[in-house]
Amino acid sequence: MKWNIDDLPVFLALCETQGVRAAAARLNMPKSTVSRCLTRLEEKLDLRLIDRNTRQFRLTAEGERFLPHAQQIMDQVAAANEAISGLRHKPGGSLKIAMPMAFSREVIGGRLAEFNARFPDIRLEVLVTSQQVNLLIEDIDVALAVGPFEDSELNSQKIVETPLIWVASPGYAAQFDWADQLAALRSQIKFCERRYKSRRLGLKGQHGRQYLDTSAAMSINDPILLREVIMQGGGVGLMPELYCRNPLRSGALVQICPAIIPEPRAQIVAFTASRRLYPQKMRVFVDFAKQCVRDYQSFGAD
């Protein structure tokens, strides 16, 4: 092999960041070194991998063919290094996690100290956000995100899936006749998460598939805040069942119109970049998140 494997991380960083400056910042090396590594790799391969000038930066046809092989080689190197260093038995290193607000506060946030005690060699960096993150640009190792999602090039694992339910405070629910459930919902739904505002929200009911216009409902992008508003008598709300379990058990909320079932279901999915393996530090965190969900769901059960 004429070319140097040490030049592959530079090539991959250039492909991901689409620029010498950004690749140099990610790799913490001078721009001149990045350019020199790319030039050396191209010379040894006798191929031009990337077209670059002041206006554009793109892979050549040869670069596109070489890219998946470079990714596979670096994945194998990472796996070998992990096995040799013993990280499979004692995970460690920096781990940058992105999590949605509600899930972080309600399910997992209070247990991060427990994770740290179990895995003291993993240095967590947690980003709590209501926005979708770009794993490559923001250098995120694992992103927990609210779905469902369309097909993605990212690796994904489902952490939890939960139905949506209609809830209200007991005092508010007692004011109305819910015999005609769909008609009652049309007049009384006041709040929903922003992602479920729709002129045609699909429903399953006694009369087959129907639709409900939720576009006039006030929207909140945080289910925990939404839950508080509903508990204060703010009307009927559409909520992920996961975040209603404890208030339903305590009587702070009541479920209404259970025969009218929203077709969407809420998910929390763990994403990692498609080219990366699942190092042990990522696996133990994803497993920990799943355990937190199981414990949260079983808390207070019979």
- For 163-196, write each residue's pLDDT tens digit: 999 999 999 999 988 888 888 888 888 888 888 8
Average pLDDT over residues 242-255: 92
Architecture of domain 162-265: 3-Layer(aba) Sandwich (3.40)
What's this model's pTM, rounded to 2 decimal places?
Answer: 0.66
Domain 93-161+267-298, CATH class in plain words: alpha beta
Note the pLDDT tens digit of each residue in 70-113.
888 887 777 676 666 655 567 888 899 999 999 999 999 889 99
Residue 247 has a pLDDT of: 92
Q: Specify whether the CB–CB gap between 231 and 252 falls below 8 A.
A: yes
User: What dotted CATH number matches 5-85?
Assistant: 1.10.10.10
Residue 149 has a pLDDT of: 66
* CATH 3.40.190.10 residue spans of the chain: 93-161+267-298
Note the pLDDT tens digit of each residue in 33-69.
888 888 888 888 888 888 876 567 788 888 888 888 8
CB contact set of 127 (below 8 Å; sequence gap of 6+) = 96, 97, 98, 99, 133, 138, 140
* CATH 1.10.10.10 residue spans of the chain: 5-85
156, two tokens: 């994904």
